[in-house]
Amino acid sequence: MTKVLSIKNAIILLNGKNRSRGYKDFLAPIFPLLDLYSDIYVVSENFLEDFSRFMETMKEVAQFLTAHKFYRINLRPLHPFSSSAHFIEIYTTLHYTLLPFMEEAYRHQNISRLMIFPVIQLKEAGDEKNLLSFLEFLRERNLVPSLYLQNFSSLSIQNLINTQKERVYIERGEGPPEEKIVRTLCCHLQCDKLLAWFNTPVRSGLPEDRTLIFSEKDQIFFVGLKNFLTGNSLDAHSGALISEIEKTFLKNYDDPLFHNLAVLPQLKETFLTNNRKREAANIFFSLGLELVKREDYAKGLDLFEEALAMPGGIDDLRAVLLSKALCHLRLHDFKSAQAGLDAVEKEDPTDAMVHYYQGQLEFGLKDYIEAIDRFKKAIEIDARQIPVGDAYYYMALSHIDILEYDDALTCLAEAEKNFSQDKLSPIFYYQGICFLGKNNLDAAYQFFQKALCSNPAQEDLSSIYLHLGICHKEKGEYLSALDDLKKAREAEEDRLDVHNLMGFCYFKLKYYDQAIACFLRAVEINPHSAIDWANLGVNVRAKGEDEKAIILFKKALGLDPTIGFAQKHLQELLEKKNR
């Protein structure tokens, strides 16, 4: 189905005295884009002056709800607190306007489809007595109030609010008042979405920023917080407004993780203030997992730490500790990874996943025998709990590292059964390595070819071509070897082993100049490569340039005095010179 926009939240910034024309016309096309259950915040600096506009908004909403009896919309007026009697009048009027919907709800044994949740803005502590009676007045009329605090702690007013049912918004950050309000609201809205996302048994991707902001003063729309903060607006008068809104929204959908992370610092405070610590811990964990999926292990680790630091506790502590260990592992902090895994293993020694990660850890530490044991144990406990294909794969690599090619081939065959078709190239490559190790050049060559034909990753191309070249070289087919090695060089120019092998093949073909060029590039890549200095010497000597060759052999032996052929060449050259 075509991807369609739906707006979860709208924020309307009212204009005070100067009423703009066409307000209703701007709003009406937005309603069909709203979620079936959505919220509209109406922000006013002076609610007395903006009241008629708010009523206009409410009438539009009511009309839409009457025509579409499967919609539910909450209106949330946000305005400064005033003890003025006018506010009592205003909310009494609003309460009466809601009555038809309350009656409908009552008759249908349901919740009202139109509700008002006032958000009362407090700039500083004080006047608690009047505020308290105003809040009580609202509560008695089912107009559940919330408080919006500007730069002061919720502690001073905690006795005023019932956090079981009511919300505390805490404004933080810099910028003009409107910007701070929109940022704070968006942060809270994201908080709600994350909570809903976390609590649902049917969980799709991370919640997106589906907020539409309308500035009455400038008659412009902003699609999402990011566009509001960067001033990227859409003209309300545009004939193609709806399609422009849709286009911008769908573009925003691309990366919900970015949005969630951007509001994270304020989310943390919001969760804590509103006593949702347990959920917060679990949400931080879930966001961390999303980062791990993107291989951003450092940031993922930070979020796992945040999750563990939340006082509310976490549902699945074992999963967090394991995920933390995985991040340490990927960041090559083996000591921390070990400590984390040992702690989980102590709690449950029969956890297959722990053994799997321990295997990964030992592999990272190059203790291949221990790694093999761990992977085996993980599979033995419960292969379904672990990425079993990966376990066999790393077990195979461990066997290769200790030259147990037959065992490695057995493991690779098992891995092959568990890998998807598009990810088989590395398996074929390592099967080739095994046959090469067993000196079965034809079989090795076939597997390297298979690896090449199985959609290999760009970064694997060079290794595959290199090993195809090695197969040819071993068979004495130096020209064919050079064909593959050139492709390996093309895929990754700065690989020393490729230049080295090319130099060797050229030497065998007696193309000394080309061989020298290859070895020169090799020592350019690694000036400490003694073998390549020695190879240079061999080729230079073959060209009859003995003096140069002596210098090169001395250089090579200075770096590594054990290179036998360099010693031999040098001795011969020196003897010849002294004769």
Where do contacts with other proteins occur on this chain (CB under 8 A)? 1-2, 4-8, 31-37, 68-72, 106-111, 117, 144, 146, 163-168, 188, 191-193, 195-197, 199-204, 207-208, 210, 270-271, 274, 276, 382, 384-385
- Distances 491 to 109, 477, 494, 552 between C-alpha atoms, Å: 69, 22, 9, 30
Nearest to 281 by CA among 246, 250, 316, 330: 316
Nearer to other proteins by Cβ, of 89 and 316: the residue is 316
Nearer to other proteins by Cβ, of 74 and 215: the residue is 74
Nearer to other proteins by Cβ, of 38 and 227: the residue is 38
Nearest to 122 by CA among 146, 95, 87, 94: 146
Least distance to other proteins, CB of residue 316, Å: 11
Instruction: Kindly give the pairing relationship between strand 119-122 and strand 146-150.
Output: parallel
Nearest to 403 by CA among 436, 377, 375, 429: 436
Nearer to other proteins by Cβ, of 5 and 557: the residue is 5
Nearer to other proteins by Cβ, of 61 and 191: the residue is 191
Least distance to other proteins, CB of residue 274, Å: 5
Answer yes or no: are the C-beta atoms of 195 and 279 closer than 8 Å: yes
Nearer to other proteins by Cβ, of 59 and 69: the residue is 69
Dig out the tokens for 545 from the structure.
């340039």
Least distance to other proteins, CB of residue 211, Å: 12
Least distance to other proteins, CB of residue 208, Å: 8
Separation CA 15–CA 56 (nearest Å) = 14
Q: Is 86 exposed, middle or buried (0-12, 13-18, 19+ CB in 10 A)?
A: exposed
Least distance to other proteins, CB of residue 205, Å: 9
Answer yes or no: are the C-beta atoms of 491 and 465 closer than 8 Å: yes
Least distance to other proteins, CB of residue 206, Å: 12
Nearer to other proteins by Cβ, of 224 and 364: the residue is 224
Cα 115 from chain centre: 37
Nearer to other proteins by Cβ, of 145 and 503: the residue is 145
Instruction: Kindly give the pairing relationship between strand 72-80 and strand 114-116.
Output: parallel
DSSP 231-288: T-EEETT-TTHHHHHHHHHHHHTT-HHHHHHHTHHHHHHHHHHTT-HHHHHHHHHHHH
Sheet arrangement for strand 211-215? 7-13, 211-215, 220-223, 233-235
Least distance to other proteins, CB of residue 82, Å: 23
Least distance to other proteins, CB of residue 425, Å: 25
Q: Find the Cα–Cα–Cα–Cα dihedral 419, 425, 431, 435, rounded to 10°.
A: 170
Nearer to other proteins by Cβ, of 147 and 337: the residue is 147
Least distance to other proteins, CB of residue 187, Å: 9
Nearer to other proteins by Cβ, of 58 and 263: the residue is 263
Nearer to other proteins by Cβ, of 21 and 107: the residue is 107
Least distance to other proteins, CB of residue 246, Å: 9
Least distance to other proteins, CB of residue 273, Å: 9
* 370: DSSP letter: H
Dig out the tokens for 168 from the structure.
């505390």
Nearer to other proteins by Cβ, of 196 and 403: the residue is 196
Answer yes or no: are the C-beta atoms of 214 and 26 closer than 8 Å: yes
* 115: DSSP letter: E
Nearer to other proteins by Cβ, of 271 and 363: the residue is 271
Can you tell me whether residue 162 is helix, strand or coil? coil
DSSP 410-447: HHHHHHHHHS-GGG-HHHHHHHHHHHHHTT-HHHHHHH
Angle at 129 (CA atoms; ends 123, 135), nearest 5 degrees: 75
Least distance to other proteins, CB of residue 201, Å: 5
Answer yes or no: are the C-beta atoms of 255 and 207 closer than 8 Å: no
Separation CA 117–CA 210 (nearest Å) = 20
Cα 3 from chain centre: 23
Least distance to other proteins, CB of residue 108, Å: 5
The CB density around residue 483, as the number of other CB atoms within 10 Å, is 15
